[in-house]
Structure 1
Amino acid sequence: MSVLARSVGNAFRNKIRTAAVVAVLAVAIGLALAMLVANQAVGGKVQELNASVGTVLTVNPAGAQGFDGGGEPLTTAQTATAAAVPNVVSVVGTKALRLETATASTSTTGTTTQQAGPGGGPGGGTSVTTNLQAAIDAGTLGNRNNTSGSTGSGNTATGSTGTAPAFSLPITATGIGAEVDTAGKALNITSGTGLGDYTVASTKALVGTTLATKNNLKAGSTFTIAGKTFTVAGIFDAGTTFGNNAVYTTLAEAQALAATPGELSSMVVTVNSMANVDAAKTALQAALGSGKADVTQGQRNLETALSSLDSVKNISLVAFIAALGTAGLIILLIMVMLVRERRREIGVLKAIGARNRTIGLQFVLEALVLVALGSVVGAAIASFASGGIASALISSNSSTAATSQRGPGGGGFGGPGGNPFGGASQLLTSVTASASPGVIAAGVAAVFGVAVVGALVPALLTARIRPIEVLRGE
């Protein structure tokens, strides 16, 4: 107990120096912990992408994408063919609908007919009426597309020479065969419950958060589709305003509303690992037939995103090791200085019978006291700085990759000024670094390990101090 008490007292012998040492250690330890948190967050995101988005394939009718093209519709029977493909772990059929707000729009100059607008799923979708109001305003782009005269872009005014009426965006409705969205990820239901058995017809529905807010809906509320009353079973959050302007029903119910039993708009196919995606894609295309279906990877630029995230992960790991080494070097230099300063004290202790092990332990404990103080402040720094550091690393790395992949004239893959990452850029910015107690504890343990090593070296130097030489010099 006396050794511990003496070590704590020695640590605070010179308060100004102690404060300076703790401040320097806090910066080094805080940086090390922040880098460790960023490394863990990026590593977790990579695993999440490999386990979800990166393993998803989308199957559409051949020649159809969105509202363009044609081809023959997919069928429920084809899901069994897709499920039999090696490395495929699940196949979810979807049926897309477009819900148009029921209005009687007539004028003296002619009749306005609501056409298919943005919002349907791959392979097109059947338009049916609803009493719901869309949660997204058409805005300048929607009304511009509506009056452009392009097929399927908005309202078509028949026999009218006046200004086209304001366009109302349709609501996306999707029938699904399992509790996953059209990207293959589990639906994030924020209130209420799921639909139960997604393979049977049911008048229960899931409603997006923005659509529910717009129409004052909550779990248990009712609305109509094609004159049929539906009950809100739950509210989901898709993460985007457009995604939340949507309704999910069971697959069988959507097929019944569209009067197309057994017909699918698309299939969401999940592969067991990212390494097997290419092989599964080829086998799936062959099994379904190139003239029957088009198979695409759900996130075509995911490899670019993963490469960028892996670079960030490696950078943060190197920075963590460097900051950890810096903390150890600081401890080493401080303890060497203390041993030199206390040569006379060490000599006296050895002259009265103190063993080298006891003296060395005193210096190690003194170093650990300083490291403990620095770790407390460093952990606070890491909790506030880890998120910003992770974002800065990701932003810097993705910007560098974007610059290196731009084509002539500075344009990206998508044309001049385009983003070479495409939709994968959203995956990069969605990394959230939070200083969890487990990660901080692991980082502090590593710091203490380095501190022990840094303190042992000068502690061993005490064995070389000969009491007779010290006392002779007095």
Structure 2
Amino acid sequence: MSVLARSVGNAFRNKVRSAAVVAVLAVAIGLALAMLVANQAVGAKVQELNASVGTVLTVNPAGGQGFEGGGEPLTPAQAARAAGVPNVTAVVGTKALRLRNATEAAAQTAAGQTGGPGGGFGGPGGQSATLTTSLTAAVDAGTLGNRNQETGTTGATGTTQPVRSLPITATGIGAEVDSTGKALELTEGTGLGDYTVSSTKALLGTTLAEKNNLAVGSTFTINSTTFTVAGLFDAGTAFGNNALYVTLPAAQALAELPDELSTMIVTVNSMENVDAAKSALQEALGSDKADVTQGQRNLETAVSSLDSVKNISFVAFVAALGTAGLIILLIMVMLVRERRREIGVLKAIGARNRTIGLQFVLEALVLVALGSAVGAAIASFASGGIASALVSSNTSTTAVAGRGAGVPGGTGFPGGGAGLPGGGVPGGGPLGGASQLLTSVTASASPGVIAAGIAAVFGVAIIGALVPALLTARIRPIEVLRGE
């Protein structure tokens, strides 16, 4: 009989004990794998935050924000200066537009009515005229929208102004990124290609496209220009999906302001350099020309909280792994003692120490393999809950510490948006947008992570089984047979 076959048979010699050992190992291994999955998920989220939201600065005209305030517009020359600041890796210029439904705008003009706060004929951001579109807004005005647009009030002509639809947010962008500097998440279609050249392609929010019965390849108009839908995106909010993107030169041409920018999104190479880069940007652009803000200033506290979760999950993984190794060690020591006579007989008939030791190691690995199979199933179900519990507890602590910080006023459209469709990073909570980003940690037991964890388990199991396997070398056949 081969060593492997004998090892498998010995593993099931006492079925009740083997089942108990496998059950205990499954719990330890399952916990270890779940902690490893949680560790990987939190680590990935930390990298995501460090590489995107936490390293993004927004530059607005000094005294202006979105469609409000005053001051002088930003220019491409300022964007070039910003790109030359140390530790700055990317500068993306934007041009914000507001679009009114063409039919509605024509009716208002015929009635001699001017636009209200929702988008008057003076044009947002210093535009020469209101831009019109064939699109209809995907969001109903509701109580807030009607209140903001002064719907129902008596105008200069003595007539009651009718209900008007909300404006549609359009943004010219110099790269395929959203307001946090992250790549746009397209649900259908493709991007706009070269975002630095004028194009008649556009990206629409999913609800805006649905409202207007548009799909990839459909067309619509802005003023007299026909645009083709190249792709659809999901910003995750109703406001964000009532929006569209075009290339920066296309938006500047529509606004008839070819050398103006509404905002600049500046990406810094690491969180550690954000403060220095912010100061350098402010100095390079001038405090009287530009306001530099960091929408997630308190994100460092949030990332620190996630780092704590990562460390806790790693310590728990090591502890569970060590527990599995200790179980194997104790079980195999017990088996060696039980089988002293068997080991002595094997040696007496010529079996070598190496062969006998290998038999015990393989027997231990059979038990570990069974425990790993069950443990992997446990981890696949438990890892998400464990990660959420760890993150929630630490996020709650961080939220209490950071209560009242919030996102400082927002950095884009009125109401605290970030200058792009979607309203930027969500604010309003103790951690601003960080709270939503922290609770969005998703732990999935990917095959790669599970395989790495099981490999570590087998490594520990081999070490745990080697010690009792080496004890077999100290058993002398003459002593065992003399005692019979």
Q: Does TM, scored on the shorter chain, surpass 0.5? A: yes
Measured at CA, do residues 369 and 163 of structure 1 come closer, stay the same or move farther in structure 2, by a change above 3 Å? Answer: farther
State how far apart, in whole Å, the 1-side matches of 2:380 and 2:125 are.
47
State how far apart, in whole Å, the 2-side matches of 1:155 and 1:370 are.
77
Matched, 1:413 2:410: no
Give the gaps of 5 or more residues in structure 1: 148-153, 407-411
Q: Which one of the candidate residues 310, 314, 318 is aligned to 1:317?
A: 314
Q: Equivalent residue for 2:140?
A: 137
Deviation at 1:468, TM superposition (A): 3.8
Deviation at 1:165, TM superposition (A): 5.1
Deviation at 1:142, TM superposition (A): 3.4
Q: Which one of the candidate residues 337, 340, 344 is aligned to 1:340?
A: 337
Q: Equivalent residue for 2:225?
A: 228
Q: Equivalent residue for 1:394?
A: 391
Aligned length, in residue pairs: 458
Measured at CA, do residues 332 and 155 of structure 1 come closer, stay the same or move farther in structure 2, by a change above 3 Å? Answer: farther
**Contact preservation (8 Å) 2:118, 2:166:** no
Partner SS state of residue 242, structure 1: helix
Task: Give deviations 1:282-339, integer Å, cap 9, x for gaps.
Answer: 1111111101100112422221221111111111100110110111111112112212
Q: Equivalent residue for 2:117?
A: 115
State how far apart, in whole Å, the 1-side matches of 2:221 and 2:187 are.
22
Partner SS state of residue 240, structure 2: coil
Q: Equivalent residue for 2:180?
A: 183
Q: Equivalent residue for 2:471?
A: 461
State how far apart, in whole Å, the 2-side matches of 1:357 and 1:160 are.
103
Matched, 1:297 2:294: yes
Q: Equivalent residue for 2:46?
A: 46
**AA of the residue aligned to 2:207:** T
**AA of the residue aligned to 1:471:** L
Deviation at 1:114, TM superposition (A): 3.9
**Contact preservation (8 Å) 2:113, 2:161:** no
Task: Give deviations 1:89-148, integer Å, cap 9, x for gaps.
Answer: 2221110011122315669x994734336xxxx96877422221222233444345455x
**Deviation larger for 330-339 or 47-56:** 47-56
Q: Equivalent residue for 1:436?
A: 446
Measured at CA, do residues 247 and 106 of structure 1 come closer, stay the same or move farther in structure 2, by a change above 3 Å? Answer: closer
Measured at CA, do residues 69 and 155 of structure 1 come closer, stay the same or move farther in structure 2, by a change above 3 Å? Answer: farther
State how far apart, in whole Å, the 2-side matches of 1:446 and 1:4 are.
22
**Contact preservation (8 Å) 2:118, 2:149:** no
Give the gaps of 5 or more residues in structure 2: 408-427
**AA of the residue aligned to 1:460:** L
**Contact preservation (8 Å) 2:29, 2:457:** yes
Q: Equivalent residue for 1:380?
A: 377
**AA of the residue aligned to 1:300:** R
State how far apart, in whole Å, the 2-side matches of 1:378 and 1:173 are.
51
**AA of the residue aligned to 2:88:** V
Q: Equivalent residue for 2:96?
A: 96
Partner SS state of residue 158, structure 1: coil
State how far apart, in whole Å, the 2-side matches of 1:362 and 1:222 are.
72
Measured at CA, do residues 6 and 123 of structure 1 come closer, stay the same or move farther in structure 2, by a change above 3 Å? Answer: farther
Partner SS state of residue 115, structure 2: strand
Measured at CA, do residues 62 and 464 of structure 1 come closer, stay the same or move farther in structure 2, by a change above 3 Å? Answer: same
**Contact preservation (8 Å) 1:57, 1:296:** yes
Partner SS state of residue 116, structure 1: coil
Measured at CA, do residues 313 and 177 of structure 1 come closer, stay the same or move farther in structure 2, by a change above 3 Å? Answer: same
Identity of aligned pairs, percent? Answer: 81
State how far apart, in whole Å, the 2-side matches of 1:170 and 1:304 are.
37
State how far apart, in whole Å, the 1-side matches of 2:342 and 2:45 are.
54
**Contact preservation (8 Å) 1:112, 1:156:** no
Q: Which one of the candidate residues 193, 197, 200 is aligned to 2:197?
A: 200
Normalising to structure 1: TM-score of the pair?
A: 0.89
Matched, 1:72 2:69: no
